[in-house]
């Protein structure tokens, strides 16, 4: 007898009748560290009411917190020319706030983005990683705390708030955006960047898309979610800009990733055979399930930057 379908209420709007889009591969790495045994992937669900996609079941919060604490301080280090979302943000900030002001970067990590801003900006950060915080402080960034949800909102009135590659780690993205809106002053700007579940490559691959297999990623939004969230939170959605996380990649890498993903999607047994024969970067002798693990597609045009304004 088949097992009864699992009920996965939407973690954001609590809608009870969400759609199961299929299984997510188990997580073999967390924040750059190998997991043994791997973390169960759960399934990818989509809420028909608020359009949020989410992982369910998720690893318990205390397990995630321990794994985040173990993350090396070098795992999320980027340079500006590798970050189209930072460059888009620079354009919007200079257009909307030419005189600068106060800015809070949520999940600021080592403060690398804030460090790229001109001195007219007074820079604040929120970050969980202790090791990364020490580097942010060396850059003269004022750290307000570890978690936006526990900060007192009255003390913070920013001209801009940013969160790059953060919302996919958050259990309730609408609550998170609401909190961001609460810390900017009227006329302030809120900018988030993340993956876009309505991008073509994602729709092609479904729950086996590479972005879902990163076990730190538990919530997945899209352009329609941003429009709906803006309406619910009484924010103005100024723009949605799309980009690829690996925009500097060579043509060769783009073709390789496109080819391996199409092979995985349409001929999974051939893909698995090639993996077992040693093609690609996954050692199937380490773990048998790696032969079916989705290939990376970091060159896909699958990310968005959403720019909101508080009226």
Q: Which stretch binds Zn ion (CB under 5 A): 20-28, 47-55, 154-162, 220-228?
A: 47-55
Closer of 9 and 182 to Zn ion (Cβ) = 9
Question: Which position among 25, 47, 112, 309 is part of the footprint of Zn ion (CB under 5 A)?
Answer: 47
As measured in angstroms, the least distance from the Cβ of 178 to Zn ion is 14
As measured in angstroms, the least distance from the Cβ of 247 to Zn ion is 31
As measured in angstroms, the least distance from the Cβ of 52 to Zn ion is 5
Check binding of 15 to Zn ion (CB under 5 A).
Answer: yes
Check binding of 19 to Zn ion (CB under 5 A).
Answer: no
107 Cβ neighbours under 8 A, 6+ residues apart: 126, 127, 128, 163, 164, 165, 166, 169
Closer of 27 and 195 to Zn ion (Cβ) = 195
Question: Is the Cβ–Cβ distance between 133 and 152 less than 8 Å?
Answer: no
Check binding of 253 to Zn ion (CB under 5 A).
Answer: no
Closer of 49 and 237 to Zn ion (Cβ) = 49
**Strand-pair partners of 56:** 43
Question: Which position among 21, 23, 40, 49 is part of the footprint of Zn ion (CB under 5 A)?
Answer: 49
Q: What is the CA radius of gyration of the chain?
A: 20
Q: Which stretch binds Zn ion (CB under 5 A): 42-50, 134-142, 152-160, 217-225?
A: 42-50
Check binding of 290 to Zn ion (CB under 5 A).
Answer: no
Task: Give the Cα separation of 160 and 238 in Å (integer).
Answer: 14
Query: Helix 223-232 vs helix 173-183: angle between axes, to the nearest 10 degrees?
Result: 50
As measured in angstroms, the least distance from the Cβ of 225 to Zn ion is 9
Per-residue b/e over 232-242, b at no fewer than 16 CB within 10 Å? ebebebbeebe
Closer of 52 and 184 to Zn ion (Cβ) = 52
As measured in angstroms, the least distance from the Cβ of 198 to Zn ion is 15
Q: Per the structure block, which two tokens stand in for 225?
A: 């979610």
Task: Give the Cα separation of 110 and 73 in Å (integer).
Answer: 8
Check binding of 224 to Zn ion (CB under 5 A).
Answer: no
Check binding of 50 to Zn ion (CB under 5 A).
Answer: yes
Closer of 15 and 82 to Zn ion (Cβ) = 15
As measured in angstroms, the least distance from the Cβ of 117 to Zn ion is 34
Closer of 11 and 27 to Zn ion (Cβ) = 11
The string of DSSP letters for 157-204 reads -EEEEEEES-GGG-S-HHHHHHHHHHHEEEEEEEEEEEE-TTSHHHHH
The string of DSSP letters for 110-144 reads TSTTGGGS-TTEEEEEE-S-HHHHHHHHHTTPEEE
Q: Which stretch binds Zn ion (CB under 5 A): 39-47, 169-177, 179-187, 252-260?
A: 39-47
Q: Which residues are at the interface with Zn ion (CB under 5 A)? A: 10, 12-13, 15, 47, 49-50, 52
């Amino acid at each position: 007898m088949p097992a009864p379908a699992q009920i996965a209420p939407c973690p954001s709007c609590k809608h009870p009748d969400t759609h199961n889009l299929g299984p997510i591969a188990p997580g073999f790495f967390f924040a750059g560290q190998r997991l043994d045994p791997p973390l169960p992937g759960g399934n990818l669900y989509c809420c028909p009411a608020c359009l949020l996609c989410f992982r369910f079941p998720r690893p318990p919060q205390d397990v995630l917190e321990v794994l985040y604490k173990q993350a090396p301080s070098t795992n999320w280090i980027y340079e500006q020319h590798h970050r189209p979302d930072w460059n888009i943000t620079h354009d919007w900030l200079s257009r909307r706030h030419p005189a600068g002001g106060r800015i809070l970067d949520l999940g600021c990590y080592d403060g690398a983005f804030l460090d790229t801003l001109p001195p007219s900006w007074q820079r604040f950060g929120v970050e969980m990683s202790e090791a990364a915080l020490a580097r942010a402080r060396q850059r003269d960034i004022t750290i307000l705390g570890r978690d936006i949800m526990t900060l007192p909102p009255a003390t913070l009135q920013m001209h801009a708030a940013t969160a790059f590659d953060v919302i996919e780690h958050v259990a309730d993205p609408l609550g998170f955006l609401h909190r961001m809106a609460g810390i900017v002053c009227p006329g302030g700007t809120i900018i988030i960047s993340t993956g876009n579940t309505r991008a073509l490559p994602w729709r092609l691959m479904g729950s086996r898309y590479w972005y879902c297999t990163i076990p730190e990623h538990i919530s997945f939004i899209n352009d329609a979610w941003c429009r709906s969230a803006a309406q619910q939170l009484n924010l103005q959605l100024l723009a949605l800009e799309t980009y690829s996380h690996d925009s500097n990649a060579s043509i060769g890498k783009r073709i390789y990733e496109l080819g391996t993903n199409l092979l995985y999607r349409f001929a999974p047994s051939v893909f698995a055979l090639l993996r077992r024969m040693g093609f690609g970067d996954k050692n199937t002798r380490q773990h048998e399930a790696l032969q079916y693990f989705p290939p990376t597609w970091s060159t896909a045009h699958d990310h968005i930057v959403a720019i909101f304004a508080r009226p």
